[in-house]
Amino acid sequence: MDDRHLPVALAEPPTLDLRADFPGLTTPGGAPWHYLDTAATAQKPQAVIDTVVRAMGKDYATVHRGVYSRSADMTRSYEEARQRISRFIGGREDEIVFTRGATEAINLVANSWGRANLKPGDRILLSALEHHSNIIPWQMIAEATGAKIDVVPLTADHRIDLDAAEKMIGPRHKLIAFVHVSNVTGSVLDVGRAADIAHSVGAKLLLDGCQAVPHMPVDVAALGCDFYVFSAHKLYGPTGIGALWASGDILADMPPWEGGGSMIERVTFEKTTYDVPPQRFEAGTPAIVEAIGFAAAADYVDAIGREAIHAHEAALTKRLRRELGRMNDVTLFGPDDGAGIVSFLIDGIHPHDLGTILDDGDVAIRAGHHCAQPLMDYLDIPATARASFAVHSSEADIDALIEGIGRTRRIFGKG
């Protein structure tokens, strides 16, 4: 397996004790709240909250418009946030486009690059693991351009089957869009091989990095992808902002998607000329406060170290899979080395029932199709229960989950 997608292994997994950094991890009564739904959205550390409050309060002003000093200061902070996020994934400042999240970033690529480059007979390669956000935009643009979609199957342990992808790829394929880390199975894509497969026929590779950037080192230059998207709220930052990375030459050839203020060079009723990337793709007043919070979240994660985070979460994942694997009525999904995500089913107990009973014991998991209905159809199941870890997760969270599963079994008369 290519090592371009893997963090550096640590000899001894670190013990992270960061629960006190997160004010949301207690119940209204002051008891511990065992939050195991970080794959949906991450709790926010106090450092990020404080940064957002300051930016929204005493530091607040518009950006790119005012000539007064506070506007200039805020503009500098906003653009420094762009620099910070570019460093976080190994890109350049002019290669980061701020979006409302990974969903909008994928839609931007589909509607800008896709409309400019796809034509009838072209093909797009997706996988059975994809989140709806990495399916629907491609369906919409395929319908608009006449392109077609192919779907790569999965291996027995629920990874994207790159052997199958290599056999399926052909000269008509213009884009591969794969998830870097699955939000359901936690499986980690062999990005180096995926990039080689795409580039062997001149296709571009887009990666959905939402579940990767909070949990492991990501260097887009080393990965060899062409587009990389991710969201702040899964990285312990605010909602409503994310980022698209693409190399400067690709962005330079992409037309704007949305029109409005900020993305222009000159406007007349006869003709409008557009700014250079990334500003070309950021119409309207930007998410100023959110961008600054995004950068604070990157600072928080890097202060801990993503190798340490990955090792900590991998140890918890291993323990939970081991505990669940001892239960003869539990079906586990995904590989044993999934990145901080464990999906499972208990015979005779719907995930929604499990999630409701666990909530009574102050344990929060996700229960449902996880915005991956085609994957549920592929697996021939209606839903799964999913526990997902974070920097603040601990053995106590697993203990509470296992205890809650036992309580659920007794309620359902399973002993």
- The yes-or-no verdict on residue 4 having pLDDT over 80 is no
Give the pLDDT mean for 353-361: 98
17 by Cβ neighbours in 10 Å (0-12 / 13-18 / 19+) ranks as exposed
Strands 148-152 and 204-208: unpaired
Nearest-angstrom CA–CA distance, 109 and 254? 9
Predicted model pTM: 0.94
User: In this structure, what token pair is assigned to residue 56?
Assistant: 């929204």
Residue range 51-81, pLDDT digits in tens: 999 999 999 999 987 789 999 999 999 999 9
User: In this structure, what token pair is assigned to residue 274?
Assistant: 């557009």
| Structural domains of the chain sorted by starting position, each given as residue range(s) with its CATH number in brackets | 19-44+305-411 (3.90.1150.10), 48-302 (3.40.640.10)
pLDDT value, residue 264? 86
With beta carbons less than 8 A apart as the criterion, state whether 150 and 123 touch: yes
Pairwise pLDDT comparison (193 vs 8), residue with the higher score:
193
Give the pLDDT mean for 19-25: 97
- The yes-or-no verdict on residue 177 having pLDDT over 50 is yes
Residue range 133-150, pLDDT digits in tens: 999 999 999 999 999 999
pLDDT value, residue 294? 98
371 labelled catalytic: yes
Nearest-angstrom CA–CA distance, 217 and 88? 9
With beta carbons less than 8 A apart as the criterion, state whether 343 and 335 touch: no
% pLDDT > 70, the chain: 96
Give the pLDDT mean for 344-370: 97
pLDDT value, residue 5? 44
Q: How far is CA 410 from the centre of its chain?
A: 36
Quick check: helix, strand or coil at residue 130?
Answer: coil
Residue 113 neighbours by CB under 8 Å, 6+ apart: 204, 227, 250, 254
Of 140, 304, 371, 402, catalytic = 371
DSSP 54-102: HHHTTT---SSS--SHHHHHHHHHHHHHHHHHHHHTT--GGGEEEESSH
